[in-house]
Chains A and B, each alone.
Chain A
Amino acid sequence: AQTVTQSQPEMSVQEAETVTLSCTYDTSESDYYLFWYKQPPSRQMILVIRQEAYKQQNATENRFSVNFQKAAKSFSLKISDSQLGDAAMYFCASSGGSQGNLIFGKGTKLSVKP
Protein backbone atom coordinates (compact mmCIF):
# COMPACT_ATOMS: atom_id res chain seq x y z
CA ALA A 1 0.00 0.00 0.00
CA GLN A 2 1.13 3.51 -0.75
CA THR A 3 2.04 5.69 2.20
CA VAL A 4 3.04 9.31 2.68
CA THR A 5 4.78 10.41 5.86
CA GLN A 6 5.25 13.93 7.14
CA SER A 7 7.37 13.66 10.26
CA GLN A 8 7.03 17.28 11.39
CA PRO A 9 3.60 18.01 12.87
CA GLU A 10 4.55 21.66 13.40
CA MET A 11 7.24 24.01 12.14
CA SER A 12 8.02 27.65 12.76
CA VAL A 13 9.96 30.16 10.68
CA GLN A 14 10.88 33.79 11.00
CA GLU A 15 9.49 36.12 8.37
CA ALA A 16 11.89 36.45 5.39
CA GLU A 17 13.75 33.28 6.36
CA THR A 18 13.76 29.90 4.61
CA VAL A 19 12.06 26.77 5.87
CA THR A 20 11.99 23.18 4.60
CA LEU A 21 9.11 20.80 5.18
CA SER A 22 9.86 17.09 4.96
CA CYS A 23 7.93 14.34 3.23
CA THR A 24 8.72 10.73 2.46
CA TYR A 25 6.57 8.38 0.45
CA ASP A 26 6.40 4.77 -0.53
CA THR A 27 4.96 3.57 -3.79
CA SER A 28 5.41 0.59 -6.08
CA GLU A 29 4.36 2.62 -9.09
CA SER A 30 6.93 3.70 -11.63
CA ASP A 31 4.87 6.55 -13.04
CA TYR A 32 3.52 8.94 -10.46
CA TYR A 33 3.24 12.55 -9.37
CA LEU A 34 3.90 14.23 -6.07
CA PHE A 35 2.10 17.30 -4.79
CA TRP A 36 2.22 19.84 -2.03
CA TYR A 37 -1.08 21.41 -0.99
CA LYS A 38 -1.51 24.40 1.29
CA GLN A 39 -4.49 24.85 3.59
CA PRO A 40 -4.64 28.33 5.15
CA PRO A 41 -7.07 29.22 7.95
CA SER A 42 -9.74 29.77 5.31
CA ARG A 43 -9.73 25.94 4.91
CA GLN A 44 -9.38 26.10 1.13
CA MET A 45 -6.99 23.45 -0.19
CA ILE A 46 -4.64 25.06 -2.67
CA LEU A 47 -2.12 23.32 -4.88
CA VAL A 48 1.34 24.76 -4.27
CA ILE A 49 3.59 22.67 -6.50
CA ARG A 50 3.75 19.36 -8.34
CA GLN A 51 6.58 17.06 -9.39
CA GLU A 52 6.56 14.34 -12.03
CA ALA A 53 8.54 11.28 -10.99
CA TYR A 54 10.22 10.98 -14.40
CA LYS A 55 11.63 14.47 -14.26
CA GLN A 56 14.96 14.80 -12.52
CA GLN A 57 14.79 18.56 -12.36
CA ASN A 58 13.24 19.87 -9.17
CA ALA A 59 10.03 21.83 -9.61
CA THR A 60 9.96 25.51 -8.71
CA GLU A 61 7.08 27.95 -8.33
CA ASN A 62 8.26 31.42 -7.33
CA ARG A 63 9.36 31.16 -3.68
CA PHE A 64 8.41 27.48 -3.45
CA SER A 65 10.72 24.71 -4.60
CA VAL A 66 11.09 21.03 -3.96
CA ASN A 67 14.01 18.71 -3.32
CA PHE A 68 13.00 15.47 -5.01
CA GLN A 69 15.20 12.52 -4.15
CA LYS A 70 13.64 9.63 -6.04
CA ALA A 71 15.90 6.87 -4.76
CA ALA A 72 15.35 7.96 -1.19
CA LYS A 73 11.63 8.52 -1.86
CA SER A 74 11.90 11.96 -0.37
CA PHE A 75 10.00 15.07 -1.48
CA SER A 76 10.67 18.11 0.67
CA LEU A 77 9.23 21.60 0.18
CA LYS A 78 11.40 24.66 0.58
CA ILE A 79 9.81 28.05 1.15
CA SER A 80 12.16 30.97 0.63
CA ASP A 81 11.64 34.51 1.92
CA SER A 82 8.77 33.32 4.12
CA GLN A 83 5.79 35.63 4.36
CA LEU A 84 3.04 35.89 6.95
CA GLY A 85 0.61 34.59 4.35
CA ASP A 86 2.55 31.33 4.15
CA ALA A 87 1.25 30.35 7.58
CA ALA A 88 -0.91 27.30 6.92
CA MET A 89 -1.17 23.54 7.07
CA TYR A 90 0.85 21.89 4.31
CA PHE A 91 -0.01 18.46 2.96
CA CYS A 92 2.22 16.24 0.88
CA ALA A 93 0.48 13.80 -1.48
CA SER A 94 1.36 11.15 -4.02
CA SER A 95 -0.56 9.64 -6.90
CA GLY A 96 -0.45 6.12 -8.21
CA GLY A 97 -0.31 5.16 -11.84
CA SER A 98 -3.16 2.67 -11.67
CA GLN A 99 -5.25 4.32 -9.00
CA GLY A 100 -7.42 7.37 -9.24
CA ASN A 101 -6.80 8.84 -5.84
CA LEU A 102 -4.11 10.72 -3.97
CA ILE A 103 -2.47 9.51 -0.78
CA PHE A 104 -2.08 12.37 1.67
CA GLY A 105 0.29 12.81 4.58
CA LYS A 106 -1.02 14.02 7.92
CA GLY A 107 0.20 17.55 7.34
CA THR A 108 2.66 20.02 8.81
CA LYS A 109 1.41 23.18 10.47
CA LEU A 110 3.67 26.09 9.57
CA SER A 111 3.76 29.24 11.67
CA VAL A 112 5.47 32.41 10.45
CA LYS A 113 6.76 34.81 13.08
CA PRO A 114 6.92 38.55 12.27
Chain B
Amino acid sequence: DAGVIQSPRHEVTEMGQEVTLRCKPISGHDYLFWYRQTMMRGLELLIYFNNNVPIDDSGMPEDRFSAKMPNASFSTLKIQPSEPRDSAVYFCASSLRRRPYNEQFFGPGTRLTVL
Protein backbone atom coordinates (compact mmCIF):
# COMPACT_ATOMS: atom_id res chain seq x y z
CA ASP B 1 0.00 0.00 0.00
CA ALA B 2 1.57 3.27 -1.14
CA GLY B 3 -0.24 5.41 1.39
CA VAL B 4 -1.60 8.88 0.67
CA ILE B 5 0.48 10.63 -1.97
CA GLN B 6 0.80 14.39 -2.19
CA SER B 7 2.58 16.55 -4.70
CA PRO B 8 4.54 18.68 -4.77
CA ARG B 9 6.30 18.27 -1.42
CA HIS B 10 7.51 21.85 -1.53
CA GLU B 11 6.17 24.80 -3.46
CA VAL B 12 7.57 28.31 -3.54
CA THR B 13 5.63 30.88 -5.49
CA GLU B 14 5.11 34.58 -5.71
CA MET B 15 2.10 36.47 -4.50
CA GLY B 16 -0.67 36.51 -7.06
CA GLN B 17 0.25 33.24 -8.71
CA GLU B 18 -2.02 30.24 -8.92
CA VAL B 19 -1.05 27.23 -6.81
CA THR B 20 -2.38 23.70 -7.27
CA LEU B 21 -1.79 20.99 -4.69
CA ARG B 22 -2.49 17.37 -5.56
CA CYS B 23 -3.50 14.33 -3.59
CA LYS B 24 -3.98 10.66 -4.32
CA PRO B 25 -5.84 8.88 -1.49
CA ILE B 26 -5.39 5.29 -0.46
CA SER B 27 -7.19 3.02 -2.88
CA GLY B 28 -10.65 2.08 -1.63
CA HIS B 29 -10.96 4.91 0.86
CA ASP B 30 -14.20 6.84 0.56
CA TYR B 31 -13.32 9.99 2.52
CA LEU B 32 -10.74 12.60 1.61
CA PHE B 33 -9.70 15.55 3.75
CA TRP B 34 -7.67 18.70 3.17
CA TYR B 35 -6.00 20.35 6.19
CA ARG B 36 -3.84 23.40 6.65
CA GLN B 37 -1.29 23.68 9.44
CA THR B 38 0.39 26.86 10.68
CA MET B 39 2.12 27.79 13.89
CA MET B 40 -0.50 30.40 14.67
CA ARG B 41 -3.66 28.47 13.87
CA GLY B 42 -2.59 24.87 14.30
CA LEU B 43 -4.27 22.14 12.28
CA GLU B 44 -7.37 23.34 10.42
CA LEU B 45 -9.80 21.25 8.40
CA LEU B 46 -10.45 23.03 5.13
CA ILE B 47 -12.81 20.66 3.31
CA TYR B 48 -13.68 17.01 3.09
CA PHE B 49 -15.26 14.75 0.50
CA ASN B 50 -17.25 11.56 0.72
CA ASN B 51 -17.41 9.45 -2.43
CA ASN B 52 -16.02 12.42 -4.40
CA VAL B 53 -18.76 14.79 -3.17
CA PRO B 54 -17.83 17.77 -0.97
CA ILE B 55 -19.50 17.36 2.41
CA ASP B 56 -18.24 20.29 4.42
CA ASP B 57 -16.27 23.21 3.04
CA SER B 58 -16.90 25.57 5.94
CA GLY B 59 -13.19 25.63 6.71
CA MET B 60 -12.19 27.02 3.34
CA PRO B 61 -10.87 30.46 4.26
CA GLU B 62 -12.16 32.43 1.28
CA ASP B 63 -13.12 32.29 -2.36
CA ARG B 64 -9.50 32.16 -3.43
CA PHE B 65 -9.48 28.54 -2.28
CA SER B 66 -11.20 25.78 -4.21
CA ALA B 67 -11.03 22.00 -4.08
CA LYS B 68 -12.16 19.31 -6.47
CA MET B 69 -12.30 15.56 -6.51
CA PRO B 70 -13.03 14.46 -10.08
CA ASN B 71 -12.65 10.78 -9.25
CA ALA B 72 -11.96 8.45 -6.35
CA SER B 73 -8.21 8.53 -6.84
CA PHE B 74 -7.43 12.20 -7.24
CA SER B 75 -8.12 15.55 -5.61
CA THR B 76 -6.77 19.06 -6.01
CA LEU B 77 -6.65 22.12 -3.80
CA LYS B 78 -6.22 25.34 -5.71
CA ILE B 79 -5.35 28.80 -4.46
CA GLN B 80 -5.87 31.65 -6.91
CA PRO B 81 -4.46 34.21 -6.39
CA SER B 82 -2.06 33.19 -3.66
CA GLU B 83 -1.06 35.51 -0.82
CA PRO B 84 1.83 35.39 1.69
CA ARG B 85 -0.61 34.49 4.47
CA ASP B 86 -1.40 31.25 2.63
CA SER B 87 2.08 30.00 3.50
CA ALA B 88 1.55 26.80 5.47
CA VAL B 89 1.82 23.05 5.32
CA TYR B 90 -1.15 21.50 3.56
CA PHE B 91 -2.07 17.92 4.38
CA CYS B 92 -4.31 15.51 2.57
CA ALA B 93 -5.76 12.53 4.45
CA SER B 94 -8.09 9.69 3.58
CA SER B 95 -10.21 7.26 5.55
CA LEU B 96 -12.74 4.50 5.26
CA ARG B 97 -16.18 4.69 6.81
CA ARG B 98 -15.99 1.54 8.82
CA ARG B 99 -14.55 0.48 12.16
CA PRO B 100 -12.28 1.91 13.47
CA TYR B 101 -14.40 4.90 12.57
CA ASN B 102 -12.74 7.62 10.66
CA GLU B 103 -9.15 6.63 11.33
CA GLN B 104 -7.35 8.95 8.99
CA PHE B 105 -4.18 8.26 7.05
CA PHE B 106 -2.19 11.34 6.26
CA GLY B 107 0.02 12.22 3.36
CA PRO B 108 3.47 13.75 3.90
CA GLY B 109 2.17 17.28 3.35
CA THR B 110 3.03 20.09 0.96
CA ARG B 111 5.00 22.99 2.36
CA LEU B 112 3.79 26.11 0.56
CA THR B 113 5.72 29.36 0.68
CA VAL B 114 4.21 32.43 -0.94
CA LEU B 115 6.66 35.30 -1.32
Contacts and interface: CB of A to CB of B under 8 A. Distances in A.
Interface of A: 31-33, 35, 37, 43-45, 47, 50, 52, 91, 95-97, 99-102, 104, 106-107
B50 A43 contact: no
Interface residues of B, number: 25
B46 to A, nearest CB: 11
Overall SS of chain B's interface: strand
A33 to B, nearest CB: 5
B95 to A, nearest CB: 7
Interface in B99-114: 99-106, 108-109, 111
B43 interface: yes
Interface of B: 31, 33, 42-43, 45, 48, 50, 55-56, 89, 91, 93, 95, 97, 99-106, 108-109, 111
Contacts of A33: 99-103
B54 to A, nearest CB: 12
A52 B93 contact: no
Contact of A43 (B55, B95, B99, B109): B109
B101 A97 contact: yes
B103 A43 contact: no
11 contacts: A32-B101, A44-B106, A44-B108, A44-B109, A45-B91, A47-B103, A52-B100, A101-B48, A101-B56, A104-B43, A106-B42
A107 B104 CA distance: 16
A45 B107 CA distance: 8
A90 B2 CA distance: 24
Contacts of B48: 100-101
A43 B108 contact: yes
B24 to A, nearest CB: 16
Contact of A102 (B99, B104, B108): B104
